[in-house]
A and B are shown apart, each in its own frame.
Chain A
Amino acid sequence: MRAFPDPMTPESSCVEVTLESDLKNVEVAEEITRRVAGTAGFDEDEQHRIEMAVHESMINAIWHGNKNDSSKSVWLQFKIHPDRLEIRIRDQGNGFDPKRIPDPLENENLLNVSGRGIFLIRAFMDEFRVEHVNGAGTEVTMIKRLSSGIQTKQGGTDREHESHNTTS
């Protein structure tokens, strides 16, 4: 795992990490997400939702993309923009078409045991897209926007400062 800077420093507008494709690293990704989302100015509820979106994406990348092969890896990138947090997660798999996943809210699917991961990501994030990267695997991009009412004690003035000084 590559070392990442302390997310509490103002210059850390971009965090990248490569993790071994192992389920134990899902919690590592969650911890990084929580800290980055906090730095970006999201409140605790939003931090949890973003963390869950990353959790589900990590499970997809490790379990479905990399087929639970620990010799493979998962790459994550977090970019803090003045108005949003952008997260990219790339596995070494062959990709999937999210349109082919049945709607878990349909009555006939309501009691399905699986098939809610992508639905939860869409519910918790503002944007979600999947791209196949030639020769490199599948990359998921998730964006969460900072709404004006979301800034809390750690957002406030810090956020204003950040909006003038961060680049990504």
Chain B
Amino acid sequence: MSMKATIRQVDSVTVVDVSGRITLGEGCTQLRELIRDQLSKGNKNILLNLADVTYIDSSGIGELVSGYTGVSKQGGALKLLNLTKKVHDLLQITKLYTVFDVHDDEAKAIGSFAKAPSA
């Protein structure tokens, strides 16, 4: 199963519900293009809901990092919502859990953007 993404706008935040595999190839390319597309539209507050992500590999982690730094450079913020245990463990062992702003409550996650200076 390849990656699928549904985009919805909640206040000033673009919520992306991601499902499937974020792995080298199609999944990573799709995520990269999606973030680039949102930035080009001026949507700089991006919340990736990873609840239905079944698999993420080292390239997928790299793509999340790339998205994080790319959005930050534009003065925005990319945050993560609803990590599965597998994704949570991967971010922990790669020490990226402390880099990303991770949430498990969507309303609170969206509220956290409003408090950010960039919002």
Say whether, besides A111-B65, A111-B99, A120 and B24 are in contact (CB < 8 Å): no
Q: Is the CB of A119 within 8 A of B65?
A: no
Q: Which of chain B's residues have a CB closer than 8 A to the CB of A117? A: 57-59
Quote the shortest CB–CB distance from A26 to chain B (angstroms): 8
Docked Cα-Cα span, A113 to B68, in Å, equals 10
Q: Which of chain A's residues have a CB closer than 8 A to the CB of B69? A: 111
Interface size grouping (class) on chain B: 20 to 34
Q: Is the CB of B93 within 8 A of A113?
A: no
Q: Is the CB of B24 within 8 A of A23?
A: yes
Quote the shortest CB–CB distance from B15 to chain A (angstroms): 24
Interface size grouping (class) on chain A: 20 to 34
Q: Which of chain B's residues have a CB closer than 8 A to the CB of A63? A: 24
Quote the shortest CB–CB distance from B102 to chain A (angstroms): 15
Question: CB within 8 A of B96: which of A26, A59, A110, A120?
Answer: A110
Q: Which of chain A's residues have a CB closer than 8 A to the CB of B94? A: 104-105, 116, 119-120
Say whether, besides A59-B24, A63-B24, A111-B69, A116 and B95 are in contact (CB < 8 Å): no
6 contacts between A and B (CB under 8 A): A23-B25, A105-B94, A111-B65, A111-B69, A113-B66, A120-B93
